[in-house]
Amino acid sequence: MDPSLSELIKNLPTGPGVYIFKDNAEKILYVGKAKNVKKRVKSHFQRPEQHQWDFTPQVADIDFLEAANENEALLIESELIKNFQPKFNVAWKDDKDYFFVGATDEKFPRVCLTHQPDDTDWRFVAGPFMRGGELKGLLRELRKIFPYRTCKTVQKKPCMYQHLGLCFAPCVFTRSKAKYATMVASLFALLEVYREGNARIEGYDISNISGTLAVGSMVVFENRQKKKSDYRKFKIRTVAGQNDVGSLREVLLRRKKHSEWPNALLILLDGGKGQLKASRGLKMAPTVALAKIKRSSGKLFSPYASNFVMLDKLPEDMRNLLLRVRDEAHRFAITYHKQRRVKQLGR
C-alpha cells in the first residue's frame, strides 16, 4: 500500500460514518458506510477479493464524513451514491439494498415495506433500515400489540388476521378511525426508536410502601443516553393508599401541564397492561408499558391489544434501550422514595 494511504487510514475515525475512495483525478470510485470507518477501510486493502472488482489499486485518496450512528451513515452514503454514481457502487444504484416502512395515506392506512419511499403518497414513512430480515421479524412481533392492516383493499368482513389478533379489522370497526390512526402513529414512533435511538424517550415509575410516601419519577433519554438535567421527581398529592395506576395518572397529568418541556417521541411506563390505563385519553406521546421479568427480558404492552411482545424477541439495540429506560425510571423512583422515608420517618 502507498505510504500516503497508510497515513490517511491512521487518521480515520473509529466511529460510524462514510468513507470515499478517489482516484488521481479526484473522481469518486466508491462510497461506503461503516460502524467503524477505520476498520472497514483497512479491510478493503486486506481483503480486496470481497468485491467483484478489486478497485484498490486505483485509490489515491480517502475522504470521510462522520455520522451520529449507522443509520445516519446509511442516509449519507445513499445520497452520495445517487449524486455521484461511483463506478464501483453498482449494487446500490437501484436503491434496492435497504428498506423503508410506509403507511398509506388512506382512511385506515395499510402498513407495508418499500424500497422506494418517494413513489407513493405516504402518511408515515420510517427508515431506511439496513437489515431486512431483522426488520421483518420486528414488524411481525410489533403487530401483536399494534394490529395494523396489510391488505391492499379493505375487505367486507374480518379475515384470519383479525381472528388472530393481528389486525384492527377496519372493515368491521369503521368508527374507530381516530384510534386506528393513533395506533399507527405509535407503531412508527417505536420504529423510529429502533432506527435511530436518538429521539427523546421518557420513562415513568411509582414507588411507595403500602401506599405511604408515594412518589413518581420521570427520566429522559436522548441519543440513547441519560439526560439527567431533564429528570423530574413528583410527590403524589391526590391519590391515597396503594394505587399505582392512579398515582401514575397524576404524574402524567402534571407532566402534561408543562408544555415548555420538550416533547417526547415515546413514553415508557414501568408496568403491565394495567399501568396503561393511566394514560387513557391524555393525548400525549405514544405510550407503551414494560413489565420486566428478568434481567434481560420482559413483556411489552400497548393500549391497542390484549396481547404482548416478549422483549427478547426484539432487536438487541432496541431491547437494551427500552430496558435501560425502564430500569432507570425504577431506580430513580426508589431513590426518591427512600430519601422521603429517611427524611420523614428517620429510616
pLDDT at 66: 95
Q: How far apart are the first and last CA of the chain?
A: 68
**Sign of the torsion angle spanned by Cα atoms 6, 11, 13, 18:** negative
Bridge partners of residue 114, in order along the sequence: 100
pLDDT at position 205: 98
Residue closest to 267 by CA, chosen among 192, 202, 185, 324: 202
What pLDDT sits at residue 129?
85
**Domain(s) of CATH 3.40.1440.10: residues in the chain:** 3-92
The dotted CATH code for 201-345 is: 3.30.420.340
pLDDT at 69: 86
- Give the per-residue pLDDT at 79: 86
> How many Å apart are CA 143 and CA 277, to the nearest integer?
20
CA–CA separation, 227 and 58 (whole Å): 46
Grid coordinates standing for 121?
A: 403518497
**pLDDT tens-digit readout, 191-217:** 999 988 789 999 999 999 887 899 999
Residues in the chain with pLDDT values less than 50: 92, 94-95
Q: What is the pTM of this model?
A: 0.79
Q: Regarding the domain delimited by 3-92, which CATH topology (the fold level of the hierarchy) does it fall under?
A: GIY-YIG endonuclease (3.40.1440)
Residue range(s) occupied by CATH 3.30.420.340 in the chain: 201-345
